[in-house]
A = this chain, B = another copy of it.
Amino acid sequence: MKKIKVHSPGTVANLVCGFDILGMALSEPFDIMELSLIDEPKVIIHNKDNFNLPVEAEKNVAGVVLLSVIERLENKVGFEIAIEKHIKPGSGIGSSAASAAGAAVAANHLLGKIFSNDEVVQFAMNGEKLASGVKHADNIAPCILGGVSLIRSIHPLDIIPLSSPDLFVTIVHPQIEVRTSDARQILRQQVLLKDAIRQWGNIAGLVTGFLKNDVELIGRSLEDVIIEPVRSILIPGFDEVKEKCKEAGALGGGISGSGPSMFMLSKDKNTAIAVESVMKEVYTRIGIDFNTYVTTINKNGVEVVV
- Within the complex, the shortest CB–CB distance from A189 to chain B, in Å, comes to 6
Instruction: Encode A36-61 as 1/0 by CB contact (under 8 A) with B.
Output: 00000000000000000000000000
Cβ-defined contact, B201 with A153, below 8 A: yes
Which residue of the partner chain B has the closest CB to A160? B208
Total interface residues on A, CB under 8 Å, equals 38
Kindly list chain B residues whose C-beta atoms are within 8 Å of the C-beta of A217.
Answer: 152, 160
Cβ-defined contact, A205 with B19, below 8 A: no
Cα–Cα, bound, A283→B153 (Å)? 34
Q: How many copies does the complex hold?
A: 2
Cα–Cα, bound, A35→B187 (Å)? 54
Instruction: Encode A68-80 as 1/0 by CB contact (under 8 A) with B.
Output: 0000000000000
Instruction: Encode A178-202 as 1/0 by CB contact (under 8 A) with B.
Output: 0000000001111111101111111
Q: A162-B208, A207-B207 are in contact. List 12 more A-B contacts (CB 8 A).
A: A18-B200, A19-B197, A20-B197, A150-B204, A152-B217, A153-B201, A160-B208, A190-B191, A191-B193, A196-B196, A196-B226, A208-B211
21 contacts between A and B (CB under 8 A): A18-B204, A20-B201, A21-B197, A21-B200, A150-B201, A150-B208, A152-B221, A153-B198, A153-B202, A153-B220, A190-B190, A190-B191, A190-B192, A190-B193, A191-B193, A191-B196, A196-B200, A200-B203, A203-B204, A207-B208, A208-B211
